[in-house]
Structure formats: structure tokens, C-alpha cells
Structure 1
């Protein structure tokens, strides 16, 4: 539990009033699970009070990269699996489940899926900017929070002794607080595709924003597996490319501060590139396991008011089918300078 004191000044340094906001911890943790198959994805759901909304203002990991390959928090209208007499049901929510799985099989969300937070590679805690929060419960459309943990290597569990409670501890403040006035959201760009053995390849995506909103990006996160070298995101307006952020996906995959002063408005194009170098003797495809690849660029933003984007993700087929230079949204504005900037970390 934490306290935040906000004071309002009337004039000449005279304090008009002070308000103390208390945040409560809400632990989203696996209930002492024992996965025994490599590349297992496990989910567990947490019901959120439907009578009134709350705000998430911080995320504190309770995990290590030696156990959890990555962790996602989804907001769901309804979860992918429920047992009415089991308050903390666990289910297999991966694409690669086999008939030998000891867990029930189901999607992450049954309806109303949206990503709220992502963690990997021992990323540290994240606190949102002052006045910003993720709205859950009430009329937010999020009735459940679902924790998804990817266990890439389960060797440590095979002795039958070790159990795991990896997850994220949330900091929540009540919905009637006047300290949260800007609602947060996440927009994700991702690709499919493949990279040939011993080659370099760009995995790219781009989508136009068609909703009449002004988004203020304040953080970004990159995600690939072992082949990623650089991941970069842009907002493109009237032919002008502005860098939102770039980072090596081989460093802690946390949310890093986005470029300051950015706005995203209706008509803008959001674009992302993951530059990959395949050192393997085999072709590698985008997929869910650590032996596959992924290309994701997350944009965490806020809006003034209560309405966030309805369309929360952008996906392309990736190479060899999709590239920026073949996309009518971008091909006339793609310069050599942008092309070089997108694949370097300088």
C-alpha cells in the first residue's frame, strides 16, 4: 500500500487543500503451479468488481527470467476458462498445447480481449505518469484480468518439488479519486512472417489511426526472441516520420519512456520494424515458442478523458509478403534516412 499526497495552491504559496490517495496492492500471481512441458503458456483469471471502476497506476513484477520467459496481463470481458467452484482456475492458453497437457485448454479471453501490460527479461517495475491510470471494472469493458505466463523451460519443475507463483502486483486506486483524469491504453503492432537461415530481414507493420482521438504516447516496449537486433516505432504524418522509440530487444524488455511531446491523431500512420539476424542453420518463423520468433512494438498512451482506442492492434503478414516499401500508406514517404534509422540503435 502506498500514499500519494497532492496539494493545490491558491496563490502565493498558500495551500488551499491537500488530498491523500491510497493505493492498494492487487497481486496477480500464479497459484503455485507446476508446469512440466517446455513452452507451456498458463493463464489464470481474476474477477474485477463490476459495480464500480478502479484504476491501475503501477505494475510490480514478481518474476525472474530464469522461470518465466514472458508475462502478459490481458483485460477481458470474459476469461477463456472458468470453474465456478474454483476461484483460481488455471488453464493452458498456448497455441502449442498437446494432448498430454495436465491443464484445461482455452483461449486467454473468451470475449473482449485487450493487452494491458507485458514483461520479460527481468524488466523492473513501472509506475504510470501522475494522473494516468488503466480503467478496470465498472463500465470499462474489463470484467476480468487474466495473467498469462510463458514457461519456456520447465526443467526446474520436473523433480515434483518446485512450484511457481510468478506474476505482477498491481497498485490500484479507487475510481472516485480525482487524481486520475487521463485514461491509459496500449496499442500493439506485430507481424507474422519468416526469415531464411543466415540472412538479415526486416519484419514490418503499419496501420492508420481512424478514430477521432488524440493519443499521448508516454512509453514503448519492444519484443522479439533470440534473433532480434533492433525494434523501432514511428508515427507518420503527411510524409514526416517521427521516432516514438527504439531499443534492443535483447536488453530488459520493459516499457521505456517515449519521445516527449508526441501526439497521435486521426489520419496518422503508426509503423514498426523489427530487424532480425538469423544465425541459425534453419529458417525461422514467427510463432509462440522460444525456438520461433516474434516481432512486437507496444505503445502505451493516455487520452484526456475516458475514451481510448477501440482498435487496439495492428498486424501484418511480415516477410516475404509485407514490407513498408510495398504498402500504399508508406511507400511514397520511405526515405533512405528512415530506412537506415529503423534498423540501427544509434
Structure 2
């Protein structure tokens, strides 16, 4: 049975404020936490909304959160949500307290798509002209699920409604957006500078046009870089930079450095350069004591459907590096320094 929260949302979806953007009728929809009270540190909460049986296109995202309250937020599109509750504990690796009355479930029970992510006071995102994420009828996304990671327990009686204002239109977009997430597992040894690396070949007969990227690590990240790699006729890999940032700056989607199309057979590759002065090893995990290495690439396809494969993951260090994969001509130095920093030998 669908929750009362979800039914109420359906009742108000058509009476929200709207404005004109590039000649489009664009409405704004608030997907917000229902005044929750996080009762412990490092809590992940999810809240869902069911999409009415019509076709919609998401064309922008306005965050309603601050990094003082929220570590990060992710918007998922789902065929089936992880739960029909008003909200639930959706930390995949969280440890449930005996007193915790919340149901525990992943964000999506089936058909998971990452549509948007936010952290560190990132600003709003508006998609390029004629680009949108198709949701609802005609897509495999029947629900939207907001995941919010709260770093700290809230005092008793204090509630939160962090979330995202979704900008959407019913007018057809000829360029459908998608996101592919590159990430790693692995470990960062104590007192080390470590590269966490991932690469995957595009195996589908599609042409994708990258337009935005986002980086994400926790506190040990120094530089995150992403590339398109194409092997030339001589067997040499040509590396084209898609984006490179300090991941401790606002973790919003930024314009890519190169918008040339990506074809079947091209490789997407990303590196997170991590520096640790800790006296212990740091493993990939969900809390601030752990680490993550993520590079999100947002793209569109023209008169086609987005990629079926939405995730590219490797084991990370010490088991996987670019150098022991099928890659050559690796930008060893350039991938680990920002353009305004001196290149380290």
C-alpha cells in the first residue's frame, strides 16, 4: 500500500508554482524530507514519490540543504522503491540500532537510476536546452526517491526538511539525459598518497554527448579527474579530459572540459588522488571515517534512450590501477594535479 505521504504529493503535483524558461512551461516540485529527526550519526534516510501515469521531463534541480546539516543527497529514479513507507533507513552498510523503528531498505528495489547528486553547498543545476531526464510513462522510472545522508544526530525535537526542488516540464525533449557513475572500492594505506582508479569501455551502440560532471570523495580527496580514452590506429590511447576538480570544493555538476561525442568502444576512466596522514588504513565506505571515490558523468542522447549500463566500478587499490588494465599512454602526472598547481614528479 502506498503511504499517505506519496498520495498527498500526487494530489498537489498540478497546482505548484511555475515559470517560463526558454519558452517552456516549467513547474517546480518540492521533493523534501518530511520533517525527520535523525536519531544517530551517519544516518541515511530515503523518502519516495510515485509519478502519475504521464510523461515528464526533469530539466533542473534546486537544492534545499546546507552542508552544516547534510553530508550529501542523491536523487534516484526507480522502477520500484525500496519501501513504500513515508521514509526509511537506506544506508546500505549502516548498522541498525535495537531501538531503531525505521524500516531498513535500499533506495530502489528495482530499476535504480542516479539522476542527480549534491554535496558541500553546491548550487542549482539547469540542464542544457532541449535536454531532460524522462520519467513516468514511456520510461522505466515510476518513482523518484530522495536519499539524504545526515552526518550528525539531531537534538530531540529538531526536525529537517532538506531536499530538492525539481524543475519539470511535460513538453517533449528530443535529447534525453542520463548519468553514468564511475567509482572504486579499495583501501588507502596509512600515511600515503594513493591513486584510486576506474575504467570501463562503452559497450552499447549509442552516441552519448557529455555536458556535466561531478566529483565526490570524503576528506582525503585532493584531485578527482575523468577522461574519455580512445585508441588510435597505432594502438596508442588518446586521453581527453572531461573534468578535474578539488573534490572538497562544492560538489555540484560542472560543465565538462570537452563535449565531443563518446562512441561505442571508447573508454571512460577516472582517478581520485587521495592523501592520508592517518595512523590507520582507510577503506571505502559510507561514513566520514571511510572514503569514497566517485566521478559522475551527465550526458544526453539524441532521439535515443540513455545507456542501459549506468555504473562502472573497480576493486580499486591495491587490486586495480589503470596500469594493470588495458590502458596505455596514461597521464600519470596530469591526472593528479590541478591546473593551477605545480606538477609533482
TM over 0.5: same fold? yes
Q: Are 2:93 and 1:91 equivalent residues in the alignment?
A: no
Structure 1 residue 79, shift from structure 2 partner: 0.3
Q: 1:34 aligns with which of 28, 31, 37?
A: 37
Whether the 8 Å contact between 1:186 and 1:301 is mirrored in structure 2 is yes
| 1:342 aligned counterpart, secondary structure | helix
TM-score under structure 1 length normalisation: 0.89
Structure 1 residue 261, shift from structure 2 partner: 3.2
Map residues 57-76 of structure 1 onto 2, 5 A cutoff.
57-76=59-78
For 1:86, the equivalent position in structure 2 comes to: none
Map residues 107-126 of structure 1 onto 2, 5 A cutoff.
107-126=106-125
| 2:323 aligned counterpart, secondary structure | helix
Could you list the runs of 5+ residues in structure 1 that have no partner in the other structure? 7-20, 84-88
For 2:25, the equivalent position in structure 1 comes to: 22
Distance 2:219 2:281 in 1: 13
> How far does the alpha carbon of each residue in 1:41-68 deviate from its partner, in whole angstroms, 9 at most, with x for none?
000111011x221000000000000111
Q: 1:296 aligns with which of 294, 297, 301?
A: 294
For 1:323, the equivalent position in structure 2 comes to: 321
Runs of 4 or more, structure 1, over 4 Å off, are none
Structure 1 residue 26, shift from structure 2 partner: 1.0
Structure 1 residue 99, shift from structure 2 partner: 3.1
RMSD after superposition: 1.0
Structure 1 residue 228, shift from structure 2 partner: 0.1
Structure 1 residue 5, shift from structure 2 partner: 4.4
> How far does the alpha carbon of each residue in 1:187-206 deviate from its partner, in whole angstroms, 9 at most, with x for none?
00000000111100000000
Whether the 8 Å contact between 1:40 and 1:97 is mirrored in structure 2 is no
For 1:9, the equivalent position in structure 2 comes to: none
Q: 2:47 aligns with which of 44, 49, 65?
A: 44
Whether the 8 Å contact between 1:325 and 1:334 is mirrored in structure 2 is no
For 1:14, the equivalent position in structure 2 comes to: none
For 2:19, the equivalent position in structure 1 comes to: 2
Map residues 307-318 of structure 1 onto 2, 5 A cutoff.
307-318=305-316
Distance 1:109 1:209 in 2: 24
TM-score under structure 2 length normalisation: 0.90
Could you list the runs of 5+ residues in structure 2 that have no partner in the other structure? 1-17, 232-236, 340-345
Structure 1 residue 334, shift from structure 2 partner: 3.0
Structure 1 residue 103, shift from structure 2 partner: 1.1
Matched length: 315
Distance 1:194 1:225 in 2: 13
Whether the 8 Å contact between 1:97 and 1:105 is mirrored in structure 2 is no
| 1:311 aligned counterpart, secondary structure | coil
For 1:203, the equivalent position in structure 2 comes to: 196
Distance 2:334 2:164 in 1: 34
Q: Are 2:329 and 1:334 equivalent residues in the alignment?
A: yes
